[in-house]
Amino acid sequence: MSSTGFAIFGAVLIAISYGLARFAFGLFVPPIRDELGLTSSVIGIIGALPLISFLLATLVAPLITDILGARYAAVLSGAFGVAGLALISQASGPLMLGAGVFACGICTGLMMPALTAAMQAIVKRSLHGRVSSVMNAGTSIGVMVAVPTVLFMVGAWRLAYVSFAVLAALGVIAAWLFLPSVSRIVPANAAPPPPIGELPWSRLIRLSLFAYLMGLVSSAYWIFAPDLVVSLGGLPASATAWLWLAVGVAGLGGAVVADLADRNNPPITQALMLMMLSASLALLAASPAQPLLTAFSALVFGLAYMSLTGLYLMTGIRLLPGRLSVGPVLPFMAVSLGQATGSPLVGGLVQGFGYADAFAMFAALGILVAVLSPFYPGAIAQADEEEAEEESGLQAAYDHQLQNEEGEPLEDPLEEEDEAPTATS
């Protein structure tokens, strides 16, 4: 499989596991709530379950990927997705619905480590940044794919989830056919990662705290934004599809913004994006009955959220060199923990104070976190070369993941194979 083909294939699997199995749930909250008679507090608790299972799955994903290999880990991930989506489609109460979304969270937590292992095996290291950006865009693509189901299946959320389960089953078959059955992703000649005691713990803790707080603030939008415009704004349920379409479209630009942010000033860019995230919450709560303003709010949210997750991804990779299965997922674990905490909290606030006040509180929290952005870990100073500037961007983060005993970036065997015929000709 070519690098381009793998990037597209990975984006499709991410679209299914992240977009459909995880983030599409918020779109269907209004009809699910009405049919099953669920309160905002119950919806908040159920909305936290896939985030909790995502965390649990992510903790064991490196071990599972190492034992099973990329192919079987991706197949296992897809199988949980199929089961979870099927359970949601047949849910008759909160317990069955919760079991379905919990299984979907396991699917999400296992998929990215499996694809990362496959990427390390078959894609040149010089292309890892580009391929990762394309795969990460799959989340936005999956969110956009959910839009037609809401527009053309108004009220038929069960049928929509059946169609999602069918797509997930096709993804399982494709993963079985096309992904390599590799388990070892760290070359034997790579230097061992730095000891745990030598890790930049101060930077890791700050990264995790900011990622956690961003996840907490964003949980209000992901779980309750569609229900807000329906309940408070009086818009039809089908109108919520345009919210997710705007989130998905704007999210596609998040990878570019995140890369530019890492090349310039990460703390300032994080502050700007957190302010945009907070503004999107405030705007949605202030004008839920205005379709154009709600769509603009979703555009702002999508760009800010995807940019922030991309920025956290790059920082996590850079702070954990040599730890291929941990660096890319650490910030996403922190974001998901924040969302798992925030979802029931938002549900309780909505039930106690109403949508407008609950969203205003979370917007204020986002502004407070933005003010603290100067503490975000910026560029890492070179210890041996004081005047050397650190390379930045997602590809640079991947380039310095694996090093030899001298501390230099490790040569990529895939690129050496391509160069061999030229040298002997």
- The string of pLDDT tens digits covering residues 254-266 is 767 766 766 678 8
Distance from the Cα of residue 113 to its chain's centroid: 12
Task: Specify which residues 31 forms β-bridges with.
Answer: none
On the question of pLDDT at 229 being above 60, the answer is yes
- 10 within 8 A of 131, measured Cβ to Cβ: yes
Q: What pLDDT shows up at residue 384?
A: 36
**Amino acid (one-letter) located at 101:** V
Total tally of structural domains belonging to the chain: 2
Same domain, 172 and 212: no
Q: Tell me the angle at which helices 138-152 and 291-319 cross, rounded to the nearest 10 degrees.
A: 150
Please check whether residue 341 is in contact with residue 365, taking contact to mean a CB–CB distance below 8 angstroms.
no
Q: Are residues 224 and 279 in the same domain?
A: yes
Ranking 83-97, 180-194, 219-233, 317-331 by mean pLDDT, the lowest is: 180-194
- Joined together, the tokens standing for residue 97 give 């619905």
Same structural domain for residues 122 and 235? no
Residues 176 and 283 in one domain: no
Q: Which of 183, 210, 227 delimits the end of a domain?
A: 183
User: What pLDDT sits at residue 386?
Assistant: 38
CATH number at residue 165: 1.20.1250.20
Closest CA to 84 of 58, 59, 54, 63: 54
Read off the pLDDT band of 175 (50, 70, 90): very high
In a domain, 387, yes or no: no
Task: Let me know if 393 is exposed, middle or buried by CB neighbors in 10 A (0-12, 13-18, 19+).
Answer: middle
pLDDT of residue 424: 40
φ, ψ of residue 393 in degrees (nearest 5): 95, 165
Question: CA quadruple 237, 239, 242, 247: dihedral positive or negative?
Answer: negative
CA distance 81 to 104: 5
Confidence of residue 186 (pLDDT cuts 50, 70, 90): low
Averaged pLDDT, 42-70: 88
Residue type, 97: L
Could you write out the DSSP letters of every residue in 110-147?
HHHHHHHHHHHHHS-GGGHHHHHHHHHTHHHHHHHHHH
Q: Are residues 69 and 156 in the same domain?
A: yes
What pLDDT sits at residue 218? 93
Do 5 and 116 share a domain, yes or no? yes
Burial class (CB in 10 A: 0-12, 13-18, 19+), 249: middle
Are residues 23 and 116 located together in one domain of the fold?
yes
Answer yes or no: do 74 and 148 share one domain.
yes
pLDDT at 419 over 60: no
Q: Which of 31-40, 178-187, 218-227, 284-293 is predicted least confidently?
A: 178-187
Last residue of a domain, one of 128, 154, 183: 183
Decide if 390 is inside a domain: no
Closest to 120 measured CA to CA, from 106, 131, 110: 131
Higher pLDDT, residue 404 or 272 = 272
What pLDDT is recorded for position 360? 92
Mean pLDDT of the chain: 82
Statement to judge: residues 167 and 296 lie in one domain:
no
So what's the pLDDT on residue 125? Answer: 73
Question: Do both 93 and 227 map to the same domain?
Answer: no
Distance CA 234, CA 221 (A): 17
Q: Is residue 416 a part of any domain in this protein?
A: no
Same domain, residue pair 14 and 114: yes
DSSP 221-276: HHHHHHHHHHHTT---GGGHHHHHHHHHHHHHTHHHHHHHHHHS-HHHHHHHHHHH
User: What are the DSSP E strand ranges found in 356-401?
Assistant: none
User: What is the average per-residue pLDDT within 174-191?
Assistant: 73
- Interval 344-383: pLDDT, tens: 899 889 888 888 899 999 999 999 999 999 999 875 443 3
Is pLDDT at 45 greater than 50 in this prediction?
yes
Q: How confident is the model at residue 183 (pLDDT cuts 50, 70, 90)?
A: low
User: What's CA 139's distance to the chain center, in Å?
Assistant: 7
Contact (Cβ atoms closer than 8 angstroms) between residue 305 and residue 93: no
pLDDT at 300: 93
* DSSP state, residue 93: S
On whether residue 414 sits in a domain, the answer given is: no
The mean per-residue pLDDT over the stretch 202-219 comes to 92
Checking if the pLDDT of 165 tops 60, the result is yes
Q: Which residues contact 95 (CB under 8 A, 6 or more apart)?
A: none
Q: Check residue 354 and give its pLDDT.
A: 87
Which residues are CB-contacts of 70 (< 8 A; sequence separation ≥ 6)?
Answer: 114, 115, 117, 118, 121, 179, 180, 181, 182, 183
Exposure class string for 101-121: b at 16+ Cβ within 10 A, else e: bbbbbbbbbbbbbbbbbbbbb
Q: Are residues 175 and 285 in the same domain?
A: no
**Which of 156, 203, 169 has its CA nearest to residue 21?**
169
Kindly state whether residue 232 falls inside one of the protein's structural domains. yes
- Which has more confidence, 327 or 361? 361
Q: How many angstroms separate the CA atoms of 137 and 72, rounded?
A: 23
Residue 122 resides in a domain: yes
With cut-offs at 50, 70 and 90, classify the pLDDT of residue 141.
confident
pLDDT score of 398: 67
Higher pLDDT residue, 92 or 321? 92
| Pure H helices in 372-412 | 394-399
294 domain-assigned: yes
pTM of the model: 0.79
337 occurs within a structural domain: yes
Residue 280 has a pLDDT of 94
Which residue's entry shows tokens 């291929």? 324
Question: Dihedral, CA atoms, 73, 128, 330, 121, nearest 10 degrees?
Answer: 30
- Its domain, for residue 312, covers 198-381
Q: Give percent above pLDDT 90 in the chain.
A: 28
- The contacts of residue 353 (CB under 8 Å, 6+ apart) are 361
How far apart CA 27 and CA 12 sit, in angstroms, is: 20
